[in-house]
Structure 1
């Protein structure tokens, strides 16, 4: 195959508008063809949605423990004002490459793909696996389906590196997250006769109050000072309802999320809110509770073999923790140790003129090359 640089591959990947929640067959197909051309064994795993897929690939002996590189192919929509160029066309400005997903996280995917042919050309004693997922930006929706298939695809990996943007400094821990939607249905009517209707927005006040009280209570601990803030948190993100000021609102919808320190189940933080629904049903309201997404916290010991490996291949001591989340906790919960390390900066993600720098891509390529050398021993 014709060798491609990380920049050339990144240009191709950015050109696919693989926005979260939309079909992704084009980017999956291109990556699969590239990997097969490099000699990898590729499996495309269609998700239950039917129109988007995960991708898993292996080079080397799949029946031996190796390492797994994990990343997501989806990006958030490029609707932010202020883009100076087409967000789905890679632009160079000096040593900076701009485009949607450059930092989060197609830059990492490009480095993996650029490095793979040289690694595949070597006789590997242990395998290197690639696990590229969909809809991570919607709460890691694709990764659980991929992780469930791992026992059929390879021997249990020794560790998993998630390439989320971290400035190429490994990260050992992150918070878990659970997001939920509450929909209340009441009875519409004219606002002059509130006695004849059921005001869904008024009823939602019980849910809102419980959420606010829970959020306040969580500030009292338990604590983990590796995180900022050092406690679990809960917030209401959106609320929608009503048609007009003189109409009793028939429906109200709230979306909320909890973020949990290691050792705390994020779904349990929402239990008190869900528990309020029974009382509302008794008052005649229809009530629906939906967990939109959920993933556990990551917690890797400082002396874990995977943490020591990342220190060796990056030359930097891993950071203790960050407050954002990834699929790393899902891999750890399934029995595979995981750590975060990738090029770019999370502070650039989800913003206009998202970018990555040449030096960051080069550092990531060096890390993957160093990992490949260890697999060849």
Structure 2
């Protein structure tokens, strides 16, 4: 199947993070069956979302994973000029929600399946598709847990997030918490008869600001910009009117950690500041990625992409989770992250075909191994 047609099929599935993705997984499953490629579908605990893991070549031999998520962010922006879930081409641009982040990479790899399946590979190429990456990498841990039962320990994993097909060796880790405060509503003229939920949040917000400032003089890694770990309050909500004591308030706080630093640990002083009537829930967490320039995987990624590896990027991916599970990982996929999560998101035809060619070069490399 041409990669443009494959991408059109994938974009048409409205796999917004947090919603069912079974129809897309069924489509991929049927496609793999047609091409004689064995696979496993790994259900998440939600019951309506699934990962998929397929293997081309001898699964008892260490090989490489090509990994991508099939969920997308919502497409409710008013600036879309057509249905965001119907792929359209304009002047060499393939426009649609998820075209760049990151169904384009998935389409490129899947379109290469028939060619790869016809080759005699000395080592396997695995395809890993995950769900709810956009909600905090929630789906792929269930797939990673099953890896020992699916294949020999992989030599490496290429996560195809949009990097312009430049291999990226590092990214920060991330953890996000929701802090909720409960109060007692009432008239603002009698605060003694109620309890202000927003006021209950203030110690947490103060601790977050202090931790953010402290991190600037903490551990640093010059590969990143900024070179230190960061922490910020992203949202604060609560209250109805200025003369009503707010009965509820909420804040979302995130930490981004350089390699070697636990992002959840960065939030410890913030969590400790939560007093009476305040609850804290961990929303998502994933570790940083750090791959040495001298790694064989870095050399392989440079070879098949034709690009010199980049030291680091600021956004996060599922690669850190694969690395934490013992699978060396790199980020390398088509497109530009600056186009993601925006109306008129696109991948160029040239970028799509270049990603397909990269997957085929990996096949050439493993056939010659």
Q: When the two structures are aligned, how many residues end up with a matched partner?
A: 368
Task: Give the deviation of 1:82 after TM superposition.
Answer: 1.0
Which residue in the other structure is 1:173 paired with? 170
Q: Deviations over 1:124-148 (max 9, x none)?
A: 2111111100000011000111101
Which residue in the other structure is 2:150 paired with? 153
The list of structure 1 runs, each at least 4 consecutive aligned residues, that deviate by more than 3 angstroms after superposition, is none
SS in 2 for 1:68: strand
Task: Give the deviation of 1:186 after TM superposition.
Answer: 1.8
Pick from 349, 358, 361 the counterpart of residue 349 of structure 2: 358
The answer (yes or no) to whether the contact 2:200–2:278 under 8 Å persists in 1 is no
Q: Does residue 124 in structure 1 map to residue 115 in structure 2? A: no
Mind listing any 5+ residue stretches in structure 2 that lack a counterpart?
A: none
Q: Does residue 369 in structure 1 map to residue 360 in structure 2? A: yes
The answer (yes or no) to whether the contact 1:187–1:248 under 8 Å persists in 2 is yes
Q: Deviations over 1:205-237 (max 9, x none)?
A: 111111111111112232212111111111111
Pick from 11, 14, 30 the counterpart of residue 17 of structure 1: 14
CA distance in 1, matches of 2:6, 2:21: 17
Q: Does residue 67 in structure 1 map to residue 75 in structure 2? A: no
Pick from 42, 59, 64 the counterpart of residue 45 of structure 1: 42
The answer (yes or no) to whether the contact 2:201–2:278 under 8 Å persists in 1 is no
SS in 2 for 1:262: coil
CA distance in 1, matches of 2:2, 2:225: 37
SS in 2 for 1:216: helix
Task: Give the deviation of 1:246 after TM superposition.
Answer: 2.3
SS in 2 for 1:192: coil
Task: Give the deviation of 1:266 after TM superposition.
Answer: 0.4
Which residue in the other structure is 1:190 paired with? 187
Which residue in the other structure is 1:229 paired with? 226
Q: Does residue 316 in structure 1 map to residue 313 in structure 2? A: no
SS in 2 for 1:126: coil
Q: Deviations over 1:115-166 (max 9, x none)?
A: 1111111122111111100000011000111101101111110000000000
Q: Which moved further from structure 2: 180-189 or 96-105?
A: 180-189
* TM-score of the two chains, using structure 1 as the length reference: 0.96
Q: Deviations over 1:28-78 (max 9, x none)?
A: 110111112111111111100111111111111111100001100000000
* TM-score of the two chains, using structure 2 as the length reference: 0.98
The answer (yes or no) to whether the contact 2:211–2:231 under 8 Å persists in 1 is yes
- For residues 90-169 of structure 1, the aligned pairs below 5 Å read 90-169=87-166
CA distance in 2, matches of 1:86, 1:321: 34
Task: Give the deviation of 1:204 after TM superposition.
Answer: 0.6
The answer (yes or no) to whether the contact 1:39–1:59 under 8 Å persists in 2 is no
Q: Which moved further from structure 2: 215-224 or 43-52?
A: 215-224
Which residue in the other structure is 1:218 paired with? 215
Q: Which moved further from structure 2: 301-310 or 39-48?
A: 39-48
CA distance in 1, matches of 2:256, 2:361: 34
Task: Give the deviation of 1:363 after TM superposition.
Answer: 1.3
CA distance in 2, matches of 1:241, 1:228: 33
Task: Give the deviation of 1:244 after TM superposition.
Answer: 2.7
Which residue in the other structure is 1:330 paired with? 321
Which residue in the other structure is 1:349 paired with? 340
Mind listing any 5+ residue stretches in structure 1 that lack a counterpart?
A: none
SS in 2 for 1:239: strand
Cα RMSD of the aligned pairs, angstroms, is 0.9
Task: Give the deviation of 1:86 after TM superposition.
Answer: 1.0
CA distance in 2, matches of 1:346, 1:81: 21
